[in-house]
Amino acid sequence: MFDLKGFGDQLLLGALMTVGLALSVLCVGTILGLAGAIAKLSKSAPARFAAETYTAVLRGIPELLIVLVIYFGSSGLLTAAAEAMGHDGFVELSPFAAGVTALSLVFGAYATEVFRGAILAIPKGQIEAARAIGMNRRLVFLRVTLPQLWRVALPGLGNLFLVSQKDTALVSVIGLEELTRKAAFATGFTKAPFTFYMAAAVLYLTITSVTMVGLHLAERRASRGMPGMRG
Amino acid sequence: MSFDLGLVIEYFPRLLSGAGLTVELIAISSLVGICIAVPVGLMRVSASPTLRNLSLAYVFFFRGTPLLIQIFLVYYGLSQFEAVRNSVLWPFLRQPYWCAIVAFALNTGAYTAEILRGAMQAVPRGEIEAARAFGMSTALLFRRVILPRAVRIGWPAYGNEVIFMIKGSALASTITLLDLTGMARTIIAKTYAPVEIFLAAGLIYLAIVFVLTRAFRRIEARLNRYLLHESA
Amino acid sequence: MRKIAIALAASLALAGPALAADKVRIGTEGAYPPFNQIDASGKLIGFDIDIANALCAEMKVTCEFVTQDWDGIIPGLLAKKYDAIIASMSITDERKQKVDFTDRYYSNSLSFIRKKGASIEQANLKGKTLGAQRATIAAEHIEKMYGKNVDVKLYDTQENAFLDLEAGRIDVMVVDFGVGYNWLNSDAGKGFEFFGKNADVGDHIGIAIRKGDKELADKFNAAIKAIRASGVYSKINAKYFPFDIY
């Protein structure tokens, strides 16, 4: 269909990098989101305030800016932090680490809301029952809330994952050789922008489609034994 | 690590002029986006499989690929073809301004169409049946009952979509436009102070988002005021 | 606790100390043919890359290349993403306020390109659309010489700027002579030509390093002299241009 002029392998390599980046963001972002939700629902006012600020700021600034600021700003901050801890020398984030950090912060901000909603969706009665048999709050969270959280949060997290897969394209601007950057390199070499950006689009659509099928299966599995939950 | 506040103050007016272009791009794209979304949303729930599949393909493509790729396709991709360059559309497509609007509008059109479809499907059956019982035609039913209700149901989701578009508009800077991000990048090319300038730009974006969020809540309250009367 | 924090920081930060004794990290763009670009196997090629490899061989250090978009290339050096920039960077007073430069490794003048036969002269650029890459001396030159009389479009990469010249979105390209020469000799540049006189802005291309990194500067300067003397330089030059660009 397309004449990729030998750049096909490069595009596939780029797509692999895109998938790796997206999966890393999913892992780190989920942890951030869980922490954010716990903070938002906590009794401590400073924790709630910190979490509110985090979600408001990260959801209101373009992802492109966040990626750029983390990449260029992190080394100064990290080096200062390391020096404060008595470590001299230079620390920095590679484009991959900076990309994961930036997109995870964004993912976490949205996931905070997803998890908050999911925690609130767990019937009060279950928590009261657990408290009644003598579980402390920690144990209630670990044994009652957390295991059920996934089922409720899965559709929301799935959507966020689809969004962040596309956001990985922004990491191309800080030099990570993922799919979009590979397509841009190929365009520069061959002067055929439509061909390569369309090829990249097809690869993104493939990644999206596979993810959608995977999410569908995961949702089915998560809601097994819950006949009312099936669509 | 040092932070030069003087730089921020010196370049703030230029950043604001960039913000003006950002707001303009968003305003025009969302209007065009709505004009795309309404027919596409109706096609998505139509009885004709051809219309359904066509609209599904459009929505799938624009929601399944990064906006950055879409912008590059419209701006650099289309001009690869001699036919496009000789067509009547070229006076528009040769300008990055219109390319950005085309890409943003097609993108937000796809997302908005899905919001509209979901909202139309959420309109209570009873209301539709009641309207049918009055003898309304399908066209009248959509105009008088389904669409007005769907707008109310989908409004909060549409508010989120506009926020997403504000953030996505930063990509206009990749095709030579001096929007807020483009202005910031041009200033950084002179000052080499990315952190200061990007943070200042970030604050302006936050302000735009804040104002728009407020406005959307206001309108939401207005759209739903008849509900308040009911409960009162 | 402190140890743990440091270990955490170290594991986050994928690169350790900036300058190990025998490794130099070099920032380049990868989108500026024939000086630096990326081929179908994902490898960096070009004049800058050959020169960098020759200098590193001369200095007996390993070179590691990092690619970085042009408008972030000096911030990247300042943020210690790499130790030197070998990316056809002009030595300018503005840049000297932020970074130090080695001696030149080639010279450059600015050329003007138009569509073949177009009735555009350097004297009547008023109202025309001029294109250049963002954050380059070409962009600076346009602003200084023609200012508000022309419409200026600035691009992330030179390659994107050429795509737009080809598409007819810009009337005139202002570009480094070597880059323009290479493009005009490619398929894409067939319908275009140089016009007018090149602007000689006394442009020397050097290697940028962080301020005060004198040891590295001295090493590079010695290596530039050495490859000039040994003939390695002229061999690389001949591979790309039929004329001397030093």
Tens digit of each residue's pLDDT (9 = 90 or more) over C129-187: 999 998 899 998 998 888 888 998 989 889 999 999 999 999 999 999 999 999 999 98
- Give the per-residue pLDDT at A158: 94
Residues C175 and A28: their CA atoms lie apart, in Å, by: 44
CATH number assigned to the domain comprising residue A161: 1.10.3720.10
- Give the per-residue pLDDT at C15: 42
| Neighboring chain B residues of C158 at a CB cutoff of 8 Å | none
Does residue C238 sit at the A interface (CB-CB below 8 Å)?
Answer: no
- Give the per-residue pLDDT at A89: 60
| Neighboring chain C residues of A94 at a CB cutoff of 8 Å | 14-15
More confident residue, C70 or C228: C228
Does residue A93 sit at the C interface (CB-CB below 8 Å)?
Answer: yes
Domain ranges of chain B: 5-231
Which tokens in the block code for residue C158?
């030179």
For C47-82, write each residue's pLDDT tens digit. Answer: 999 999 999 999 999 999 998 888 889 988 988 889
Q: How many CA atoms lie within 13 A of C72 on its CB side?
A: 26
| Neighboring chain B residues of C132 at a CB cutoff of 8 Å | none
Mean pLDDT of B209-223: 94
For B30-77, write each residue's pLDDT tens digit. Answer: 999 999 999 999 999 999 999 999 999 999 999 999 999 999 999 999
C108 to chain A, minimum CA–CA distance in Å?
A: 22
Q: How would CATH label the architecture of B5-231?
A: Orthogonal Bundle (1.10)
Kindly report, as residue ranges, where domains of CATH 3.40.190.10 are found in chain C.
Answer: 2-107+204-240, 108-201
Q: What is the mean pLDDT of chain B?
A: 92
Residues A137 and A140: their CA atoms lie apart, in Å, by: 5
- Give the per-residue pLDDT at C40: 86
Could you state, in chain order, the average pLDDT of each consecutive group of 10 residues for chain A (231 residues)? 82 96 97 96 95 95 93 77 70 86 96 94 91 92 88 92 95 90 90 93 96 92 66 41
DSSP string, C109-152: EEEEEEETT----GGG-TT-EEEEETTSHHHHHHHHHTGGGSEE
Q: Is A185 inside a domain boundary?
A: no
Closest CA to A105 of A39, A59, A49: A59
If one counts the domains in chain A, the total is: 1
Question: Which of B96, B192, B194 comes nearest C98 by C-beta?
Answer: B192
| Neighboring chain C residues of A188 at a CB cutoff of 8 Å | 31, 33, 37-38, 157, 159-160
- Give the per-residue pLDDT at A227: 59
CB contact under 8 A, A188 and C38: yes
**What is the CATH code for C2-107+204-240?**
3.40.190.10
Q: Are the C-beta atoms of residues A18 and A186 closer than 8 Å to each other?
A: no
Q: How many CB pairs under 8 A join A and B?
A: 116
CA-based nearest residue in chain A for residue C159: A188
Note down the domain range covering A29.
19-177
- Give the per-residue pLDDT at B2: 65
Residues A54 and A105: their CA atoms lie apart, in Å, by: 9
Mean pLDDT of B210-232: 82
Question: Which of B77, B167, B195 comes nearest A198 by C-beta?
Answer: B77
The ipTM value here is 0.89
- Give the per-residue pLDDT at A216: 92
DSSP string, A120-157: HHS-HHHHHHHHHTT--HHHHIIIIIHHHHHHHHHHHH
- Give the per-residue pLDDT at A72: 83
**What is the CATH code for C108-201?**
3.40.190.10
CB contact under 8 A, B195 and A59: no
| Neighboring chain C residues of B194 at a CB cutoff of 8 Å | 72, 75
Does residue C208 sit at the B interface (CB-CB below 8 Å)?
Answer: no
- Give the per-residue pLDDT at A210: 96
